[in-house]
Structure 1
């Protein structure tokens, strides 16, 4: 693999790809009201503009990560960028709901192909040590801060040019990535199909994860209609159990279950799943509070997140790497998660009426510090010991933990908040007061998720000198 300055140039290509994927995902959420108006989509049908993407993305991450190990990470990554760009073009010209949902599924496929490999390519580029922690911090910053950029950019593009440009803007970026990626990213040939091309196992895990994500998206407003989602989730768990049983028997497994004997990998992914789940819920509930209670516009809401992005950037790029090197991953994780608990606790007292500067901004600043510490540390922890032969599938496991954890956390916090708000409204509370009461309970639940993640992080070995960043 390349060394010296070219490694950082390759990192810039990977970070740009990460940014395009993240910005698109969050920008679409801002554009949904205009999409609903133009295409006549409402309720459950509108939700599939998001769910069609999530089903493909969440379900295929692990498979695509393994394909990168087998066929070559650069090849699969660039193929994913090409598929995602083609899907973006289809979204931009979609004149009806069916084509838009199909195009979003294509985007999800491309995002799984490219996104599942980014972390794995980074750990191959940078040997374990200080440079790897710094590189992972860059990717973590892009992943965390890109959400705010997407929210602001989506609001601006949708308001000035139309929702179609939220997708069409990806075309020149995708072409640039394809050209620069072929020139800058080092070619790797993979281990070949003999290294673990377990197609039946791939079918089990992909179908199982897709059903789980599908079940999350099928939950009705306020958590209603849970019977069908429960059946789908149960079927998904059965398929995942069949996958695990097959991996234990087959000679060429898609995923060697032995990697989960690593406390670093297992702990890092559990922490990430819980943290990202709380973060997804945070973005959803705070956005609703800013717009539905404080009356802010979508563009103003996007701008409100820029402060958090700046804090995440400074923390992940400047502070996290130094703290991990000095104190170790375990201590940094516990400290970052503790800061997250404090942020959610602050939000659990949101007043009616309230104000952004006094009631929301302090929690955003603290949570920015939390995200800037936790995401690089947890990712570095989960990728500890990754080799050239399995970094792709490990990266896919990291992405799957983030995606499925985020979807589950968002569904749980949103449903809980809606149920509490509905009960308060039925009891005679004013609309703003009822909504805020629901948001408060949602933030309490988010604090519980982060506290659980902190407990898991605290059980990691005290002597973590072998983890990334330690001399």
Structure 2
């Protein structure tokens, strides 16, 4: 495959990857509008985000396994077709339950698309300058997708309607599906026997869905109710079953032996808490701005640019610092800033303003994400053998997405419960909502700060230093064309 054709194929794959990342954030600023249109309850609205995140994170590893064994292009097209069809159905949704179901199907499609697309890219480009360049662009698209999603969500909701945040995917998906067979090569791992571990994938996804459902409904039915206790017990049983399955099957979805690497285990624990704190912060912050301050969807999207642009601006400094000071300290510093920024937001009043109450916290959390995302991504590959790098990368994406889904569920539950209590005691609705959001910010800030002691307890400085050194070698600008080119911002992808 010549260079021109490789880059044509890469363009199609990158567009598809960009769509799945955009869908993580494009919904956030439209949530209040969607809630009013489809008559969502306060506790159910978070499922528009959570259903996508759980399906995405829970099936990501299985999607990668299927792509390697069945054919990467074939599986990619199945995933993109699923994602595109679910997007069309979501745009046409007339009930809250149907939209939630279609968001889950979108997540399944994204879980198939992402690992298949990245596997094709890794297979098309050999190690060296071209692969580093491709991965650099891939990482930049991952980082830019979140920002684009916030802005696009605001624009479409304001000028066209919330349905168009889903309609947007349809023509793009159809065009890519038509072009892929002509441009993208097929590849797979040749093996005598194909093993997928569907029971592992089913048990972990089912356990997580039950966990989030139990947490979300507990404020209404009671934490000590038979229903809540039964759901939590069933969730625990499925998650234990997952661990048992993974320890006994021949080809486990997640080989548990990989967690013997302390730095990798620590990085994934931090990744989970990073997703739980920051992604849920965007969710709760959006609700505060629209439900309390009365911001439009467009204004909300533009407001989040403070954090996004700050993160991009400080990414270069973060990459420079990891080679000059303790990488472990940089990771802990990033998570400290995220936790502190989220806790700072708990002081927002009913009649808040952007410059007085939001700009500072958004700026601090933006800097924190620049440090945290990059170091977590490096640490997740520390000490990992080359043939298991794909497994380690997939595991990192999985913990981050699942963290985000569970964080949104927990924050929504805390906010709804406290808001209900305040309304019951006679507080006005704006004051009650603000009080509920205050408690959610406290919980999310503490979740972010919990990553700091985990960093010091599990991450091994020597392993992380070796990983940083290896990353520095591949990201140093090349003095000659045949040397590797910089692969900047790979960590954010």
TM-score (norm 1): 0.83
Superposition deviation, residue 9 in structure 1: 7.6
1:308 and 2:303 matched: no
Greater Cα offset, 8-17 or 172-181 = 8-17
1:263 and 2:262 matched: yes
1:57 and 2:59 matched: no
CA distance in 1, matches of 2:140, 2:243: 33
CA distance in 2, matches of 1:8, 1:461: 38
Superposition deviation, residue 470 in structure 1: 4.8
Structure 1 runs not aligned, ≥5 long: none
Partner of 1:81 in structure 2?
A: 80
| From 449, 452, 461, the counterpart of 1:451 | 449
Partner of 2:362 in structure 1?
A: 364
Partner of 1:465 in structure 2?
A: 465
Greater Cα offset, 460-469 or 273-282 = 460-469
CA distance in 1, matches of 2:9, 2:375: 22
Superposition deviation, residue 116 in structure 1: 4.5
Helix, strand or coil for the counterpart of 1:194?
coil
CA distance in 2, matches of 1:231, 1:331: 42
CA distance in 2, matches of 1:310, 1:3: 36
| Structural mapping, 1:22-101, within 5 Å | 22-35=21-34, 49-50=48-49, 52-94=51-93, 100-101=99-100
Superposition deviation, residue 342 in structure 1: 2.8
| Structural mapping, 1:171-320, within 5 Å | 171-178=170-177, 187-192=186-191, 194=193, 196-216=195-215, 218=217, 228-316=227-315, 318-320=316-318
The answer (yes or no) to whether the contact 2:155–2:298 under 8 Å persists in 1 is yes
Alpha carbons of structure 1 residues 123 and 381: separation in structure 2 relative to 1, 3 Å? farther
TM-score (norm 2): 0.80
Greater Cα offset, 241-250 or 427-436 = 427-436
Alpha carbons of structure 1 residues 128 and 364: separation in structure 2 relative to 1, 3 Å? farther
CA distance in 1, matches of 2:132, 2:452: 21
- The CA deviation string for residues 108-154 of structure 1, in whole angstroms up to 9 with x for no partner, is 21011123556667777899999999977765664455334323322
Partner of 1:349 in structure 2?
A: 347
CA distance in 1, matches of 2:133, 2:373: 12
The answer (yes or no) to whether the contact 2:82–2:106 under 8 Å persists in 1 is yes
Alpha carbons of structure 1 residues 368 and 250: separation in structure 2 relative to 1, 3 Å? same
Alpha carbons of structure 1 residues 407 and 305: separation in structure 2 relative to 1, 3 Å? same
Alpha carbons of structure 1 residues 456 and 45: separation in structure 2 relative to 1, 3 Å? closer
- Number of equivalent positions: 469
Alpha carbons of structure 1 residues 335 and 97: separation in structure 2 relative to 1, 3 Å? closer
CA distance in 2, matches of 1:109, 1:119: 16
Superposition deviation, residue 378 in structure 1: 0.9
CA distance in 1, matches of 2:5, 2:191: 26
Superposition deviation, residue 283 in structure 1: 1.2
Alpha carbons of structure 1 residues 125 and 385: separation in structure 2 relative to 1, 3 Å? farther
Partner of 2:481 in structure 1?
A: none
CA distance in 1, matches of 2:142, 2:132: 15
CA distance in 2, matches of 1:284, 1:215: 20
